[in-house]
């Protein structure tokens, strides 16, 4: 089962967090947008307070768990927003049950599956994190997630992200890595996504750079793209004012 937070009232915005974080990464969005919308933020399997999956946390299994949560809450239709790994889950939710998805927000993510090299790297990370723990992984991962502006100017944000990763269970990190390695390519799904779509990307995102977001937007039938200044891969945390502005405008236009 998944732990979650449900705040506010109005149309539901479901926000799916990045790897290897948890639902609290959406705090700046929940605080600002819950005056007009109902925000549902689950901890994905193994992260935060949610139970671990048995074995790899495949995107199929994670999306099924999120659909089960929607059924439990009797929510029939949502705008799905996913950042990075959350975006991979959002593609899978769309494939499993497109009627649930009223609109889609794809932030700092990509449609492509992993290369063989990326898969091998994920298997190595899964092995390593089980041996050396989450704190060492947090040191390695934080500078990749945050943009150069945050790394240079926002020590409190650097510490917050590092702590969030250090708190993740090594088994959750390993399971998500192995699950993401198995994810299918979602490129062919893009042209079938005919609901309104918002693509967001941090201008300093080194993991899923703006060029990746632009290519994705071109293949989506009804997508707008916005580049978030002074932000890296965690654009919602690094520049919440700008990120929220685009979210609100998109949600109002639905
Ligand atoms: C994330 O932020 O969720 C990760 O960068 C996703 C990934 O490892 O592909």
pLDDT by residue for the chain (254 residues), tens digit each? 899 999 999 999 999 999 999 999 999 999 999 999 999 999 999 999 999 999 999 999 999 999 999 999 999 999 999 999 999 999 999 999 999 999 999 999 999 999 999 999 999 999 999 999 999 999 999 999 999 999 999 999 999 999 999 999 999 999 999 999 999 999 999 999 999 999 999 999 999 999 999 999 999 999 999 999 999 999 999 999 999 999 999 999 99
Task: Write the CA distances from 155 to 149, 152, 228, integer angstroms.
Answer: 10, 7, 20
The DSSP letter of residue 42 is: E
Looking at residue 231, its pLDDT comes to 98
Residue nearest to ligand 1 atom 6, measured at CA: 85
Site residues for ligand 1, CB cut-off 6 Å: 18-19, 84-85, 180, 207, 233
Q: Quick one: CA dihedral 200, 13, 172, 91, positive or negative?
A: negative
Q: Which of 252, 254, 249, 237 is nearest to 30 (CA)?
A: 237
Residue nearest to ligand 1 atom 4, measured at CA: 19
Query: What is the distance between the alpha carbons of residues 183 and 156, in angstroms, rounded to a whole number?
Result: 33
Looking at residue 91, its pLDDT comes to 98
φ/ψ region of 3 (left if φ > 0, alpha if ψ in -120 to 50, else beta) reads beta
Of 85, 168, 208, the residue with max ligand 1 atoms within 8 A of its CB, to mutate for a pocket test, comes to 85
Query: What is the distance between the alpha carbons of residues 99 and 102, in angstroms, rounded to a whole number?
Result: 7
CA of 123 to the centre of ligand 1 (A): 14
The DSSP letter of residue 24 is: G
CA of 145 to the centre of ligand 1 (A): 8
Of 84, 117, 174, the residue with max ligand 1 atoms within 8 A of its CB, to mutate for a pocket test, comes to 84
CA of 228 to the centre of ligand 1 (A): 18
Looking at residue 116, its pLDDT comes to 98
């Amino acid at each position: 089962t998944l732990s979650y937070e449900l705040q506010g009232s109005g149309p539901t915005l479901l926000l799916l967090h990045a790897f290897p974080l948890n639902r609290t990464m959406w705090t700046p969005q929940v605080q600002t947008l819950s005056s007009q919308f109902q925000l549902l933020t689950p901890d994905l399997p193994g992260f935060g307070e949610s139970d671990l999956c048995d074995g790899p946390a495949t995107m199929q299994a994670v999306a099924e768990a999120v659909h089960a949560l929607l059924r439990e809450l009797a929510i029939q239709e949502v705008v799905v927003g996913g950042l990075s790994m959350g975006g991979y889950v959002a593609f899978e939710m769309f494939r499993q049950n497109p009627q649930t998805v009223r609109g889609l927000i794809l932030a700092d993510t990509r449609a492509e599956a992993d290369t063989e090299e990326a898969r091998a790297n994920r298997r190595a990370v899964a092995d390593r994190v089980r041996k050396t723990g989450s704190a060492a992984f947090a040191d390695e991962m934080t500078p990749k997630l945050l943009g150069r502006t945050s790394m240079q100017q926002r020590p409190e944000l650097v510490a917050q992200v590092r702590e969030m990763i250090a708190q993740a269970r090594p088994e959750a990190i390993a399971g998500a890595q192995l699950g993401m390695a198995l994810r299918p390519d979602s490129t062919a799904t893009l042209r079938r996504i005919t609901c309104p779509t918002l693509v967001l990307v941090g201008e300093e995102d080194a993991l899923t750079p703006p060029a990746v977001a632009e290519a994705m937007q071109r293949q989506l039938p009804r997508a707008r793209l916005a580049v978030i200044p002074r932000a890296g891969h965690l654009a919602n945390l690094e520049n919440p004012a700008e990120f929220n502005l685009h979210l609100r405008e998109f949600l109002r236009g639905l």
